[in-house]
Amino acid sequence: MTLFSRPERFPLPIPAILIYNYLRLIGHKDLFAASVLSLAGLSALLQAFLLLWVALTISVIAPSGIVCLFLSGTSDKRPTRGLPAFVLLSSVIWAAFYTTAGYFGDSPTPLTWRYWATVVFMLFAIWTILGAIAWWSPNFMSAVPDSAPKAANWSPPPTNRKARVANRFRAIWAHRIWRCFCVTAAIFGAGLYAVFSIYVISAFAGSLHLPQHGWKASAVLFSIILFSFFPGAVYLKVRASNGSHGKALKVALVVTIALTYAALLNGFSAEPIALVAMKGMAVIDNAERTYEVVKADERPTYQALGYRPRATDRFVQAFIRFQFADVKLVCPNKYPFLDVPSSSVNKGRDTPDDSPSPVPPELRTSHADSEGCLVPTKDEIRTVDLPDGFSLQSHPPVAISPSRPAKHVGQSKRYTRHGRTKC
């Protein structure tokens, strides 16, 4: 039996807290008790949330992965002790670049060619600075060691042209400048890929309540770049201290988790990630669907609440605002679960009776909330897939001709046998 088949092994309070926060956000905490009774549903939600969280974290620290992939060395050849410090200094340089570019690029007007020319010039300057530091390699930041093969160990210069060209390529490969180029190229590529880390965080900036303009947004960019390079520097530090790849990976993973928990304790919210996980599991569905109102006496209620009918009042268009276990909450309008900040959505949602709504008060107290959302039962509505142009037509009863009486199914001719009539 695998781990994923045992829901009791999971910390199920985590998805329960996520569900409670979402129900509080939409003003339906009364559905929490009935929703958390499904252990299988909680386990599936926890797996989706953790997978999404891991994918988001890996996307942010991808520059560290590039640095570790090209600069971690082998079992026989370890990185220099000053390489982690060089990576941290490079992260500061890249953070300053992205902060400056983001601050001056934050303008409602289109960016001109002068801006992009300055960005390209700054990239060339970063390459030059990184290459110069790698070549210099001071004692506290020795990125490239001096133990390169010397030309004295080679054979005398040959006379033929082919051998001379081969020796020149061999000299370039063994020379220290080539190693400086490799280190600089790896860190420069990681810095360019850090744009993806900024893009990932920017996609959740509105829901995470992060500033998107001004110097505060620049400070967020600076922190993102430092965070994206820090696990890689820790990995190289362990490798430079004669640690194995497995030990270095464990230490870098612990540091990443510790930084994540520190962010959560300092106001970083996991709610947007949980909402995306719920959307992927169809707990939240902003796609408009067609429902058949099975009970005829409930159809006027759906009309009064603003549900758009389709064909007739028997079919209505609705959105799933929440469905988990046996609980389903349908609404006439979609919920901007990821586009609007939680503070503005949650404001006044716990007291829906105080918010203005066209829903009649008698329906609001007995059937629906202030936005017309209902909690139907299984036998009240059901999802249907109607084709385009569907319509219900009433057909009149077929008239029966008096010359040809109607026959019932299974009716047979009567016959007489020995004076007895049988059917």
User: What does the pLDDT look like over 103-149, one tens digit per residue?
Assistant: 888 877 888 889 999 999 999 999 999 999 988 888 788 887 654 44
- Burial of 134 from C-beta contacts in 10 A (0-12 / 13-18 / 19+): buried
If asked whether residues 265 and 190 sit together in one domain, one would say yes
Global pTM? 0.68
Residue 350 lies in a domain: no
For the chain, give the mean pLDDT.
75
Q: Residue 115 in contact with residue 215, Cβ under 8 Å?
A: no
If asked whether residues 17 and 113 sit together in one domain, one would say yes
pLDDT mean over 399-411: 46
pLDDT tier, 341 (very low <50, low <70, confident <90, very high otherwise): very low
If asked whether residues 253 and 301 sit together in one domain, one would say no
| Closest to 236 (Cα-Cα) out of 226, 251, 222, 225 | 251
* Residue scoring higher pLDDT (423 or 402): 402
pLDDT tier, 158 (very low <50, low <70, confident <90, very high otherwise): low
Residue 379: pLDDT above 80? no
Tokens of 186: 């790896």
For residue 320, give its domain range. 284-337+366-390
Complete DSSP assignment for 312-326: BTTEEEEEEEEEETT
Q: Residue 331 in contact with residue 293, Cβ under 8 Å?
A: no
If asked whether residues 296 and 373 sit together in one domain, one would say yes
| Closest to 287 (Cα-Cα) out of 331, 324, 326 | 331
If asked whether residues 245 and 298 sit together in one domain, one would say no
**Residue 420: strand, helix, or coil:** strand
Residue 403 lies in a domain: no
pLDDT for the residue 118 = 93
- Of 278, 302, 320, the residue that ends a domain is 278
Residue 251: pLDDT above 90? yes
The lowest-confidence range among 62-76, 245-259, 345-359, 395-409 is 345-359
Q: Residue 13 in contact with residue 305, Cβ under 8 Å?
A: no
| Closest to 148 (Cα-Cα) out of 235, 245, 77, 237 | 77
Q: Provide the domain count of the chain.
A: 2
How far is the C-alpha of 300 from the C-alpha of 98, rounded, in Å? 58
If asked whether residues 95 and 125 sit together in one domain, one would say yes
How far is the C-alpha of 218 from the C-alpha of 337, rounded, in Å? 26
Residue 56 lies in a domain: yes
User: What does the pLDDT look like over 4-17, one tens digit per residue?
Assistant: 444 444 577 878 88
How far is the C-alpha of 277 from the C-alpha of 18, rounded, in Å? 10
User: What does the pLDDT look like over 268-318, one tens digit per residue?
Assistant: 777 778 888 888 888 887 777 788 777 777 778 777 777 877 767 677 778
If asked whether residues 292 and 264 sit together in one domain, one would say no
pLDDT for the residue 390 = 57
pLDDT mean over 388-413: 48
* Residue scoring higher pLDDT (214 or 47): 47
Residue 355 lies in a domain: no
With residues binned 3-state (H G I as helix, E B as strand, rest as coil), the percentages for the chain, rounded to 5, are 55, 10, 35
Q: Residue 172 in contact with residue 178, Cβ under 8 Å?
A: yes
How far is the C-alpha of 276 from the C-alpha of 160, rounded, in Å? 67
Residue 165 lies in a domain: yes
The lowest-confidence range among 8-12, 56-60, 320-324, 343-347 is 343-347
If asked whether residues 291 and 231 sit together in one domain, one would say no
If asked whether residues 192 and 296 sit together in one domain, one would say no
Residue 181 lies in a domain: yes
Residue 416 lies in a domain: no
Tokens of 48: 């989706």
Residue 57: pLDDT above 80? yes
If asked whether residues 263 and 331 sit together in one domain, one would say no
If asked whether residues 165 and 261 sit together in one domain, one would say yes
If asked whether residues 171 and 297 sit together in one domain, one would say no
Residue 55 lies in a domain: yes
